[in-house]
Amino acid sequence: MARWWWALLLSCTLVVAALGKEAVPATDDPALEARMQRIAVELRCLVCQNQTIAESPAGLSDDLRREIREQLQRGATDEQVVQYMTDRYGDFIRYRPPMNPSTVALWASPIVLLVGGLLVLVLVLRRRARMAPERFEPDALDDDGNPEEAR
């Protein structure tokens, strides 16, 4: 029985190794590769959505990294590459989208939610402060008539 498990483990390992994806070769120029990485960490993977294209294993991220390399090799600046990706995929591809009319809700929503939550908290606490003590549940009493301590 143990031989069967070892054979199964070995075959699974070989299958995984055979199906494993080969890494996309980096350029020979380390400065170009560093620029590509700097740009790639600023762009969101459209498949994963919670990873940058620099760290995503998705095929689309491989294609986007290759596209960045090609544009940089053609002489495009970092800003031109980011603008190309934004024009093609929209502001969503950027981890730090610019402030413009289409992204105002994105930038303002955390502040609006925080202020709204604080307003609700203040209103609830003020309402509770005005309530008569009889509206609250009485404290549980022990056998001697003293309030029980919380356990």
Report the C-alpha gap between 136 and 124 in whole angstroms: 14
Both tokens assigned to 85: 């990706």
Output the pTM of the full model.
Answer: 0.55
Residue 137: phi and psi, rounded to 5, are -70, 140
82-127 pLDDT, tens digit each = 999 999 988 888 888 778 887 788 788 899 999 999 999 999 999 9
- pLDDT attached to residue 143: 73
- Asked if pLDDT for residue 2 goes beyond 80, the answer is no
